[in-house]
Structures are given as C-alpha cells and as structure tokens.
A and B are shown apart, each in its own frame.
Chain A
C-alpha cells in the first residue's frame, strides 16, 4: 500500500467547473504539498500545508490532520489548468523523505 493515495487518477472537466482532487496519507507528516506538473515540463510547488486551509487565486488547498486527508480545489477551471497534480508529504521520520501520490491527470475542455 502506498503511503500517499490520490483520487481520482484521471479527471476531465468542462471549462468553468469546480474541481476537487483528494489525497489521503498514512504516515506521520510534518507538511503536505500540492505540486503541478505540465506535460513534458517541470514541477511547480502550489501549496505547502501543515494545518487548515490556503488559497492562491483560484486554487484552494485544505488539510484535516486528524483524518489524514487533504483536498485541492480549483474554482472556475480553465484549459490552462490541465496538468498532473501531485500530492506529496514530508515525513516526520528520520531524514527528510518525501512520499508522493501517483498524481491526478486533469484535462479541462473548453
């Protein structure tokens, strides 16, 4: 079983729709990260969370530490939001290991 599970694996939405991507984890964490990876491109760090909620433009990330669950929401989705969204956790264990979800591939259709 992976330390980080994401759902859904693939998501297609119409432009303007509200999108939610979910992430559950099973390890003790110091922080949870949402990353964005465009096809053939690099990785951009969207959020780092250890509690509560953060908002950046049309993106909102929430985390529930007790339930070991986080969500990434995109409001008024746009085709340029099409990318792979990856949930990652930095472990509270020794060293500084990251555990990654397998990603959610989002396609927003005009």
Chain B
C-alpha cells in the first residue's frame, strides 16, 4: 500500500497559467481532503470530497480554484490563472471514513513566478 500519493512534488508555473495537482488516496479510502500551507503560516482546510461529490468546499477561494474526485482516477485540485499569492504547499489527506484514519500525502509545492 503506497500511501497517499501526490504529484508532482514540485510545480513551477508562470503567472496566468493553470496548475493541476493530483492526489491518489490510499487504497480503500473514499474520502479526500485538500489543505493549503502558505509560507510562514499554518495549514488551512480547503475542500473535502468523496467519490464524485464535493462535501465541503468552505475553505476554497471563490474564484479560480476547483476540485474534483472522479469515480476513477486521482483527485485533482485545479488552479486557473495562477498568481504569486497561490505559491504554497498543497497537502492532500485521505481516510476510509469521514472521521478517522487520516493519512497525509507529502504535498505539492507550487511556486508561481
């Protein structure tokens, strides 16, 4: 069991480009969570998804950010028209149930230049 796999580990994008971050949950986990860690700040919840459903997106910026967790394949966090302020580490976690057994990925470090 490879754990939660996030890729890429590092991503560099120019302002205005799109960033796609992938998260493959642990086998048997159908709950996925995305978090953002801005430089010098703590982790912030972004979105909670189950297969094909967004359960809670209260932490997602209203514009440019979207997330999906399709029936097949990884969860994708998509950031359109990136700006310098999007530079951060984005972490994904998965769990087999809504309230326990969380496993975190190693994160994707996005740098917008």
Contacts and interface: CB of A to CB of B under 8 A. Distances in A.
Chain A interface size, as a band, is: 20 to 34
A108 B104 CA distance: 24
A42 B42 contact: no
Chain B facing A: main interface SS: strand
Interface stretch (B12-20, B55-63, B70-78, B80-88): B55-63
Given A95-B56, A96-B98, A44 B104 contact: yes
Dominant secondary structure at the A interface: strand
Interface stretch (A19-27, A52-60, A62-70, A98-106): A98-106
A96 B100 CA distance: 11
A41 B6 CA distance: 12
A31 B100 contact: yes
Interface string A18-44: 000000000000110101000001111
A103 B43 CA distance: 9
A95 B5 CA distance: 24
Nearest to B44: A100
Nearest to B104: A43
Contacts of B59: 97
Interface of B: 31, 33, 35, 41-45, 48, 55-56, 58-59, 91, 93, 98-107
25 contacts: A31-B99, A33-B102, A41-B106, A42-B104, A43-B43, A43-B91, A43-B93, A43-B105, A43-B106, A44-B104, A45-B102, A45-B103, A45-B104, A48-B102, A86-B43, A94-B56, A95-B58, A96-B31, A96-B33, A96-B98, A97-B45, A97-B48, A97-B58, A100-B44, A100-B45
Interface of A: 30-31, 33, 35, 41-45, 48, 86, 88, 90, 94-103
